[in-house]
Amino acid sequence: MRISTSWSQHTAVSAMLNQQAQLQQTQMQLSTGKKLLSPSDNPVAASQVIDLNQSIKSTEQYQSNINTARNRLSMEDVVLESATDILQRIHELGVQGLSGTNTADSRAAAAVEMEALNEQLVNLANIKNANGEYMFAGFKSSTKPFSKDVGNPGAYVYAGDSNSRPIQIDASRQITDGDPGLNVFGTPTGSAPAAVPAPGSINNMFEAITKFATDLRANAPSSGSLSDISRALDKISSTRASVGARLNAWTAKTKSIRILYLR
C-alpha cells in the first residue's frame, strides 16, 4: 500500500494543531486556576461541580436565615427577661397587698405602681423589631397587637394572629423565629359584651394586673389575682425556655456549617 506525501503532511499538521490546542488549554487552566474550563472537558466532574455550587448556595442561604432569626429571637429573649422582672415586682406588690397589716392607703399606693408596671408590660408586648415589625403580632407584623378595649373597662383586645414564622435551617428542618402574643401574654377577653373573668381564672396578664390593681384601690384584693400573676410568670418562663432551646439549635447548626466550610 502506497502512502501519499500529502497524507503524511496532513497528519503532521494535525498533530501540531492538537499539540497547540493542548498547550492553549493548559495555559488557560493556569491563568484561570480552573481545571475544567467547560462541561465538555469532563462531564461527570462538571456535574459534581454544579451540585457542589448549589450546595454552597443553599448552605449560605441557611446561614443567612439563621443569622436573621437568631437576631429576632435574641431580642425576644431580652424583652421576656424584662417582662419577667416586671412581673416579679408585681407579684411582690401583690403579696404585700394581700397582707392583713396593710392599710387602704398602702394598698392604693401599691395599685398605682402596679398600674404603671402594667403599662410597661403592654409596651413590651407592642415592641417592634429592627425591621419595624411588631414582634408579638404573628403574621400581622404591621398591626399593633395589644390595646385596651375602651368600651369594656379592664379588658384588652388582640389584633394580631396566632401564627409563627418558620425558618428553614437545613433541607429538612424548620424552626420558628418568634412567638405570637397570645402564647406569651395570654388571650385577652376582647371587645364587649365579653366580661373579664373573676380573679383566679383570668388568662391575659394585662387584664389580671388591671383587676388586681382595681381591687387594691378598693381595699379588697383577692388571692385569686396572685394566682393569675403566678400563671403569667410561668407562661413567660416557659416561652423563654423555648426561645433558649431554639437559640441553642441555631448555634449548633451554625457550628456544623462552619465545620463543613473548613472541610
Digit-coded pLDDT (tens) for 155-180: 999 999 999 888 877 777 788 889 99
* Concatenated DSSP letters of the chain: ----HHHHHHHHHHHHHHHHHHHHHHHHHHHHT-S-SSGGG-HHHHHHHHHHHHHHHHHHHHHHHHHHHHHHHHHHHHHHHHHHHHHHHHHHHHHHHHSTT--HHHHHHHHHHHHHHHHHHHHHHT-B-TTS-BTTSTT-TTS--EEE-TTSTT-EEE-S-S---EEEEETTEEEES---HHHHH-----STT--PPPTTS--SHHHHHHHHHHHHHTT---HHHHHHHHHHHHHHHHHHHHHHHHHHHHHHHHHHHHHHHH-
pLDDT for 62: 64
Taking the complete model, does pTM exceed 0.85, yes or no? no
Asked whether residue 43 carries a pLDDT value surpassing 70, the answer given is no
Which residue type is seen at 248? N
Q: Which domains does the chain have, with CATH numbers?
A: 78-165+173-262 (1.20.1330.10)
Between CA 178 and CA 162, with CA 59 as vertex, the angle to 5 degrees is 20
pLDDT for 45: 52
Q: Which long-range contacts (CB under 8 A, 24 or more apart) does 128-131 make?
A: 129/72, 129/75, 130/71, 130/75
Asked whether residue 148 carries a pLDDT value surpassing 80, the answer given is yes
> pLDDT per residue over 195-218, tens digit each?
899 999 999 999 999 999 999 999
Closest Cα partner for 134 from 115, 118, 147, 119?
A: 147
- pLDDT band of residue 37 (cuts 50, 70, 90) is low
> pLDDT per residue over 121-131, tens digit each?
999 999 999 88
Q: How far apart are CA 212 and CA 151, in angstroms?
A: 20
pLDDT for 29: 59
Q: How far apart are CA 125 and CA 134, in angstroms?
A: 9
Q: Which residue has the higher pLDDT, 4 or 232?
A: 232
Asked whether residue 261 carries a pLDDT value surpassing 60, the answer given is no
- pLDDT band of residue 193 (cuts 50, 70, 90) is confident
- 8 A C-beta contact, residue 143 and residue 134: yes
> pLDDT per residue over 212-260, tens digit each?
999 999 999 999 999 999 999 999 999 999 999 988 876 666 655 554 4
Burial of 94 (0-12, 13-18, 19+ CB in 10 A): buried
pLDDT for 254: 60
> pLDDT per residue over 54-71, tens digit each?
665 656 666 776 777 788
Average pLDDT of the residues in 185-197: 91
Closest Cα partner for 163 from 182, 187, 144?
A: 182
